[in-house]
Structure 1
Amino acid sequence: MDYAEHREPLLPFFPSSPYSNGWMLHRSLLPETSRQRIADVLEEQSREFGAGRKASDNIEALRRGANAVVTGQQVTLLGGPLYTLFKAATAIRKAHDASAAGHPHVPIFWLASEDHDLAEADHVTFPSRHELHTLKLRMPEGAVVSPVGGLALGDAIQRVVSEAAGLLEPGPVMEALEEFYQPGERFSRAFGRLLSRVFEAEGLIVLDASSRECHALGAEVLRQAITSAEVLHNALIERDKLLVEHGYHSQVLVTPQSGLLFLIDAETGARLPLKRVGGRSGSGEFAAGRKNYSESALLEILEKEPERLSPNALLRPVFQDAILPTSAYIGGPAEIAYFAQSQVLYERMLGRTTPVLPRLSATLIEPSAAELLHRHELALTDVISLRPEELAVRLGARAMPIESKRKLSATGKSLEAELDELTAYMGSLDEGLGRSALVAASKMRYQMNRLRRLSANYQLQREASLRRHADSVALALFPDHHLQERLIGAAWFLSRYGEALPSLLVEHAAQECPGHKAIFL
């Protein structure tokens, strides 16, 4: 919040402000050979993901020297939550704005396919008229420790897609889900194909960096994470102390044994944290699972099988910007907070810190919900700040006959005036008597408010539609007490609004003032 509200850099954690366009002037230090190699990778993957001509043109622009606005996310079931679209739309818009200003940029979506937290990726939530439905993919036992992106979808995906068909509108999006999410398909490829299809007209480039080629391109960062583990660990510890001194906290816990890498086990495929033995990297000893590895053994793995070394949440953006000509990264609130820690890694490993910009954050308001907001004189903030039952009471209070409202208002004002005068008088007579008067006055005010609630509830009973309206608007705009963007699957809105939705989000992502907004559809 502090970062998003500051027009000056929130030093020392962030070298730039979200209000600055200085990132557009970034001069990439990516070697020309590396630029051509990553362009080759992107070109090959764009064909695999079925990307269109616009993405190919953007890859060619990157090959010729354009920089990148990058965003990313863990690969999740059926396209994941709504903020997936917001991230991509923001990267597209920022790249467009920079290019229009004479600084060529292209948008890239980084698939965080190496993440092993299957519990965050194996489900998606869609609403029906009266409730939420969470579709969950049951994966084989033992798959939970492997990188999610490489997992193959089993026969259970057919059940999930069938359930989705009962909740989503028929059309191109549902057809794409049926085409991409098939038994035997990998998590990351299905996700990448869907994202490429949704933003085909905008030329979004999608990258899965889990390959040997990408890890070889970022080998120097992985090497430093091994050979400079002590220095980097100490820098993170000092940064954590500084965060606490400024009243903040660390997003990623750094312990004495913490390292910056995971190791993919050669036999099981498990993604295991690579820990510093005894908290001492100077010993050159690391441990993953039950096995110990010397520094030289890890460097040999890096040389021969670099894809087996996987960066953790703090190192991932540094690794990313070692292989891409990144000018700015588009992140959500938690990711931006990560950067306050990662900044020390950036400076020591790359000699610079990539600016991070807030993604579009919004609640999409469909016409039916907009009509209810207008009819009952509600704002989005009312829906977010009140529980559905409280919202219903407010609707009941507003629906009361004008005469009832006048009598309650007049009585309330009269009671307040009388109580203020009486408690002041009692207090002037005796301090103890004054305290007793305040307690009694509080009880009277409570009873007056109770009378207001009873009147509102009576109106609710007379007009049953008010309760339905409160529940409906809460489900649509603040489902299950969560921001809509974090809970509802993107595919639900895409199935209803089609290709018009991505372009609308790109338009709204031009926001100059970070914050949550209401977008009326």
Structure 2
Amino acid sequence: MPTDCINYQNSGYFSSLMNDYLDQKPNLQSLYNRFPNLENFEAQIQEKQENFNAKNRTVLVSVLQEQYSKIATSDLTKQNIEALANSNTFTITTGHQLNLFTGPLYFLYKIISTINLTKQLKTKYPSQNFVPIYWMATEDHDFEEINYFNFKGRKFRWSKGSKGPVGRLSTEGLADFFEVYASELGSGKNADDLKKMFQEAYLNHSNLAEATRHLANTLFGKYGLVILDADNQGLKQIFIPYIKEELIHLTSYKHVLEAAEKLKNYTIQVNPREINLFYLENDLRERIILENEKYKVNNTQIEFTESEILLVLENHPEKFSPNVIMRPLYQEVILPNLCYIGGGGEIAYWLELKSFFDAVKVTFPILLLRNSVLLTTEKQVAKADKLGLSWKDLFSKQNDLVNVKTAQLSEFPIDFSIQKENLKKQFENLYEIARQTDKSFLGAVKAQEAKQIKGLGNLEKRLLKAQKRKYSETLERIIDLQNELFPNLSLQERQANFSEFYLADGENLIEKLIQKLKPLEANFEILTLH
């Protein structure tokens, strides 16, 4: 079995920004509060405790109790909700879209990273309590991003019209979808468990928020996960002062622009708008735009004066929805949160926000890159052993992998570097002669050297191609294995749905991941399933 360990920076699948963040490069240190290590949580706890409004805890607990009133709740989750009323209780949060049947695998990894970090913190800081939170992105409106999942290389898509926030979207029509998916699952206990999971979540609940809550609670309730739907009037009431600040002073815009300037050598993840809020109704989520001293709702006839929109805000805060810039602030205002766990893209946009948080005097959380995992089978590990492949080999780009393996398999060197160096040495004498005669001869020598070096390069390519043909059978097995582990030459966790692996491993899948994942270690975990 390959035993090498792949850290995120060497995996080849993370951006330069994430690699530099993990390496704690000095140019990024002003863009975050504290780096995620166990010791730094002590100061984070103290800062959050001093800056968090204790009254918000009462509202938070009340909202959660109401949201959990109609679903079976584990004792541990109940205890966690009740504990949030206490000043020594803090949250660790991850957020995710309401992807159909969890969407890609990394949905599991985000939540398990969150659960496991709370356990680590409790061991380190036993006088405090730590609650894992899954923030459901119920107010998002991009249905096309969440209405499908991949199972065994096939895309299962829920075709339906959608307007407004996806959390309020009716689950009507999923019975037909389920029939098609269920037929692909086949029979057996694990298949039956998956069918039951889908039915109870999506066919027994009227909207996508309730369905997603039920599914996440089924998978993670026993580990104490608390699931929050922040599309809620009571929680928005807490956020009114920050919405008002955004509407009148456009505070986020200038501060996020400043941070983006510091990140100009990287790919900018999000660009701020002047007002980073949407106007929200059941079938509507559109941007609020300030034009000619009027607040207009994009693509509608709705408009307000400043006094009118502030009156709506006071009476109906639920009609205001934060966008990607404001949502993190909303989260940190209503939760006693210490750390946000997200993927590379999420951490990238959080890095644009610290000066905005500082301006509105809200504690900026620790930012932690979620765990990444490659799930393998014993059969695949055996194949890797037989083919002499390390995990580093399998993580490399396919063309590079094939070239390296061809060179290793070849009984003679197929790299002509030595020949090229010898050729250059031979031309040194000609250059010495050329320098003593006409300049045109010097040019002819240079041209001839370049021609012969190029010729050697072409021969090198032809030899590599010939050796690839000779070892084609072995190379094909290598390519097939890499394609199994990296579907579409992408990370498995971004392509496959958890049900593909649950079908083989059942409920043990979650428990094995819980046991395996170490959130504060920036290594790509390899988990072999039976």
Question: What TM-score comes out, normalization by structure 1 length?
Answer: 0.86
Paired with 1:202 and 1:73, the residues of 2 have a C-alpha distance of: 18
Which of 500, 504, 507 matches 1:492? 500
Paired with 2:202 and 2:407, the residues of 1 have a C-alpha distance of: 48
Partner of 1:15, secondary structure, is: coil
Q: How far 1:294 moved relative to its partner?
A: 1.9
Q: Does 1:92 align with 2:104?
A: no
Paired with 1:68 and 1:512, the residues of 2 have a C-alpha distance of: 16
**Paired amino acid for 1:289:** N
Tell me if the contact between 2:406 and 2:464 (Cα under 8 Å) persists in the aligned partners.
no
Tell me if the contact between 2:113 and 2:519 (Cα under 8 Å) persists in the aligned partners.
no
Which of 126, 136, 151 matches 1:111? 136
Partner of 2:526, secondary structure, is: strand
Question: What TM-score comes out, normalization by structure 2 length?
Answer: 0.85
The number of aligned residues is: 492
Q: Does 1:436 align with 2:448?
A: yes
Structure 2 gap ranges (5+): 1-17, 435-441
Partner of 1:11, secondary structure, is: helix
Residues 165, 428 of structure 1: alpha-carbon distance in 2 compared, 3 angstrom cutoff:
farther
**Paired amino acid for 1:119:** E
Q: How far 1:181 moved relative to its partner?
A: 2.0
Which of 487, 501, 505 matches 2:513? 505
- The residue number in structure 1 matching 2:275 is 259
Equivalent runs, 1:224-243 vs 2, <5 Å? 224-229=245-250, 231-243=251-263
- The residue number in structure 2 matching 1:472 is 480
Segment drifting more, 358-367 vs 44-53: 44-53
**Paired amino acid for 2:452:** A
**Paired amino acid for 1:476:** E
Paired with 1:446 and 1:152, the residues of 2 have a C-alpha distance of: 61
Tell me if the contact between 2:259 and 2:353 (Cα under 8 Å) persists in the aligned partners.
no
Deviations 1:74-100 (A, max 9, x none): 111111111111110111111111111
Paired with 2:304 and 2:433, the residues of 1 have a C-alpha distance of: 81
Segment drifting more, 160-169 vs 55-64: 160-169
Q: How far 1:15 moved relative to its partner?
A: 1.6
**Paired amino acid for 1:234:** K
Tell me if the contact between 2:38 and 2:121 (Cα under 8 Å) persists in the aligned partners.
no
Which of 320, 332, 338 matches 2:331? 320
Q: Does 1:149 align with 2:178?
A: no
Q: Does 1:329 align with 2:357?
A: no
Paired with 1:270 and 1:225, the residues of 2 have a C-alpha distance of: 20
Tell me if the contact between 2:407 and 2:413 (Cα under 8 Å) persists in the aligned partners.
no
Equivalent runs, 1:72-471 vs 2, <5 Å? 72-101=95-124, 102=126, 103-127=128-152, 132-140=153-161, 143=162, 145-160=163-178, 162-163=180-181, 165-167=183-185, 170-182=191-203, 185-229=206-250, 231-244=251-264, 247-255=265-273, 258-265=274-281, 269-277=283-291, 283=293, 285-290=295-300, 291-387=302-398, 391=401, 405-406=410-411, 408-409=412-413, 415=419, 418-430=422-434, 431-432=442-443, 433-460=445-472, 463=473, 467=476, 469-471=477-479
Structure 1 gap ranges (5+): none
Residues 423, 385 of structure 1: alpha-carbon distance in 2 compared, 3 angstrom cutoff:
farther
Paired with 2:425 and 2:33, the residues of 1 have a C-alpha distance of: 56
Partner of 1:252, secondary structure, is: coil
Residues 429, 441 of structure 1: alpha-carbon distance in 2 compared, 3 angstrom cutoff:
farther
Q: Does 1:51 align with 2:67?
A: no
**Paired amino acid for 2:451:** V
Tell me if the contact between 2:151 and 2:497 (Cα under 8 Å) persists in the aligned partners.
yes
Tell me if the contact between 1:262 and 1:312 (Cα under 8 Å) persists in the aligned partners.
yes
Partner of 1:181, secondary structure, is: helix
Segment drifting more, 215-224 vs 60-69: 215-224
Paired with 2:192 and 2:297, the residues of 1 have a C-alpha distance of: 50
**Paired amino acid for 1:36:** T
Paired with 2:405 and 2:359, the residues of 1 have a C-alpha distance of: 57
Which of 62, 74, 82 matches 1:40? 62
Deviations 1:104-159 (A, max 9, x none): 111010001100011111111122xxxx111111003xx1x411111112224532
Paired with 1:49 and 1:77, the residues of 2 have a C-alpha distance of: 19
Tell me if the contact between 1:113 and 1:150 (Cα under 8 Å) persists in the aligned partners.
yes
Percent of aligned pairs with the same residue? 23
Residues 411, 119 of structure 1: alpha-carbon distance in 2 compared, 3 angstrom cutoff:
closer
Segment drifting more, 39-48 vs 204-213: 39-48
Tell me if the contact between 1:135 and 1:160 (Cα under 8 Å) persists in the aligned partners.
no
- The residue number in structure 2 matching 1:69 is 92
Partner of 1:21, secondary structure, is: helix
CA-based RMSD: 2.8
Partner of 1:200, secondary structure, is: helix
Paired with 2:179 and 2:55, the residues of 1 have a C-alpha distance of: 43
Q: How far 1:359 moved relative to its partner?
A: 0.8
**Paired amino acid for 1:135:** F
Paired with 1:32 and 1:161, the residues of 2 have a C-alpha distance of: 48
Paired with 2:423 and 2:27, the residues of 1 have a C-alpha distance of: 51
Deviations 1:401-450 (A, max 9, x none): xxxx33x3389587456535434444444443144223323322322332
